[in-house]
Amino acid sequence: MPHVPQSPESELQSGAEQAYLFRHAVLRDAAYELQLPAERERLHALAFHAMEELHGGGAPVMPGQVRTPHATDAAAFELAMHAKAARIADRYREYLLRAAYVAQRKFRNHEALACWQELAALRTGADRVEVLRHATIVAHQIGDNALAEQLARESLQVALACGSRKLEGAALGSVANICRETGRLHEASQAYEAAVAIHREVGNDSALGVDLGNLGGLLTQQGRFDDAEAALGEALATHRRTGNRRGEGVVMSSLGALRYQMGDPVKATELMHQSLAIHRADGNLYNEGVVVGNLAAVHQLAGRLTEAEVLARQALAIHQRTGSRSSQGVALGNIATIMALGGRAAEAEPLFMEALEILREVGNRRFEAVFRCELALAMLALGRGAQARQTWRLGASALKAAGDFATLGQEREAMLKACAGLGVEALDEEMP
């Protein structure tokens, strides 16, 4: 519908309505403040019980039922706030926990993070470690890796204070994830190995499968393909033994990425499609986006640039839905890389810049380095050799410092091929 300019009369009417609404809100707040504290508590309790009744009764309070969908889910946060104001402490905690899970499922990430952080202030001991772990995941999702690391390390300190080796292992895995994301691969490797050792010690097979899979992905980045295959194979067997289909899907995607790095696109594609089927059946939208992006990379390697770009854009759309800032940056960089490979360097450059801005913002040093290297090749194609050389050195040195030798080798191979095709000197003379 086209926008129709308002007449002066309708503008006056709109302004009057806004003034009325403002005055009404002020009067409402003033009336609320005039109530005695005991009366406010009574009114909030009435509102709380009325809202529960409107949704068919209160949510179940038995442990383990908080993740089960309930009619009150749509109003879980409001119910928590009314319970807090009414000093119904047990229901406040229960609905706040339900609100956190609901917001996280629906990718309302900032709301979920606020709930988890408020819950962390209410919990102690083992319960607090678990709440902080969830807060860490959501903080990473929104791209605040500094906060994510702070929360992960706090969970580790609480676990150590509890004397729980099981919780210590889980917290170490969270710390390792953030270190890997921010390009500190050696530190991440140490944390993963310590976590895996603890999981074996206490018999925590569920966590063992997860962190073995994460360690396998990191070993792939480091070019330690045999070690990566061993870790991923054990992770896959562990998930199958414990019936963890979601974990199985994640590891199969990592095995596909390993095969891709080893130059076997056929097996990589097969594994990634199997992973994708698991994630779609499970409704795991975040990991679906990761695998679709990985499939785009396989098509890119095979020279099928049209198919690669379609998949990379699908991955971007999924990451926009889930609110994962880091993944959005990676997807934008992948699209730009595909465009540059297809001779559209000028069109790709602004996308590279947007991707780099996001990746700097969230602290994803690995992919910031990768796309600096790719941007250098686009600059080279545009005839800006000096700028390309400087940009390349920044990206390559960051990959080398992080110990990401597999990726550095791939980027250097692409650089040498591009330079040879243009008949210019290599952007560096050092082997990784």
Residue 113: the pLDDT is 95
Contact criterion met (CB below 8 Å) for 249 and 282: yes
State whether residue 203 is helix, strand or coil.
Answer: coil
CA–CA separation, 323 and 286 (whole Å): 9
CA–CA separation, 102 and 30 (whole Å): 33
Specify the range with the lowest mean pLDDT, choosing from 2-6, 173-177, 178-182, 403-407. 2-6
Most confident of 84-98, 203-217, 288-302, 404-418: 203-217
CA–CA separation, 406 and 223 (whole Å): 5
Contact criterion met (CB below 8 Å) for 372 and 153: no
Specify the range with the lowest mean pLDDT, choosing from 40-49, 182-191, 194-203, 341-350. 40-49
State whether residue 1 is helix, strand or coil.
Answer: coil
Residue 12: the pLDDT is 44
pLDDT tens-digit profile of 111-149?
999 999 999 999 989 899 999 999 999 999 888 999 999
What is the pLDDT averaged over residues 36-44?
77
Higher-confidence residue of 280 and 63: namely 280
Maximal C-alpha separation, the chain: 82
Q: What is the residue-wise DSSP string for 146-198? A: HHHHHHHHHHHHHHHHHT-HHHHHHHHHHHHHHHHHTT-HHHHHHHHHHHHHH
Residue 29: the pLDDT is 54
pLDDT at 432 over 50: no
- Name, in order, each residue with C-beta under 8 angstroms of 261's C-beta and a sequence gap of 6 or more: 220, 225, 406, 410
- The CB density around residue 6, as the number of other CB atoms within 10 Å, is 11
Amino acid letter for position 230: A
pLDDT tens-digit profile of 367-408?
999 999 999 999 999 999 999 999 999 999 998 888 888 888
What is the pLDDT averaged over residues 406-412?
87
For 342, phi and psi rounded to 5 degrees?
Answer: -85, 15
Contact criterion met (CB below 8 Å) for 218 and 186: no
pLDDT at 54 over 90: no
Q: Which two tokens stand for residue 411?
A: 């980027």
State whether residue 67 is helix, strand or coil.
Answer: coil
pLDDT at 233 over 60: yes
CA–CA separation, 133 and 17 (whole Å): 46
Which class for 29: exposed (0-12), middle (13-18), buried (19 or more C-beta within 10 A)? exposed
Higher-confidence residue of 11 and 89: namely 89
What is the pLDDT averaged over residues 223-245?
95
Closest CA to 61 of 70, 74, 48, 49: 70
pLDDT tens-digit profile of 275-326?
999 999 999 999 999 999 999 988 998 889 999 999 999 999 999 999 899 9
Q: Place 34 in a pLDDT band, splitting at 50, 70 and 90.
A: low
- Name, in order, each residue with C-beta under 8 angstroms of 107's C-beta and a sequence gap of 6 or more: 141, 285, 321, 322, 323
pTM value is 0.79
With vertex at residue 199, the alpha carbon angle to CA 251 and CA 97, rounded to the nearest 5 degrees, is: 80
Residue 63: the pLDDT is 62
Q: What is the residue-wise DSSP string for 280-349? A: HHHT-HHHHHHHHHHHHHHHHHTT-HHHHHHHHHHHHHHHHHHT-HHHHHHHHHHHHHHHHHTT-HHHHH
CA–CA separation, 138 and 99 (whole Å): 14
pLDDT at 59 over 70: yes
pLDDT at 20 over 70: no
Higher-confidence residue of 21 and 48: namely 48
pLDDT at 72 over 90: no
Q: What whole-number percentage of the chain has pLDDT above 90?
A: 59
CA–CA separation, 156 and 129 (whole Å): 7
Residue 26: the pLDDT is 55
Q: Place 188 in a pLDDT band, splitting at 50, 70 and 90.
A: very high
Average pLDDT, the chain: 88
Q: What whole-number percentage of the chain has pLDDT above 70?
A: 90
CA–CA separation, 406 and 403 (whole Å): 9
What is the pLDDT averaged over residues 54-66?
75
pLDDT tens-digit profile of 248-274?
999 999 999 999 888 888 999 999 999
Closest CA to 392 of 346, 361, 430, 364: 430
* Cα 238 to Cα 165, 203, 235, 247, 254, distances in angstroms: 20, 12, 5, 9, 15
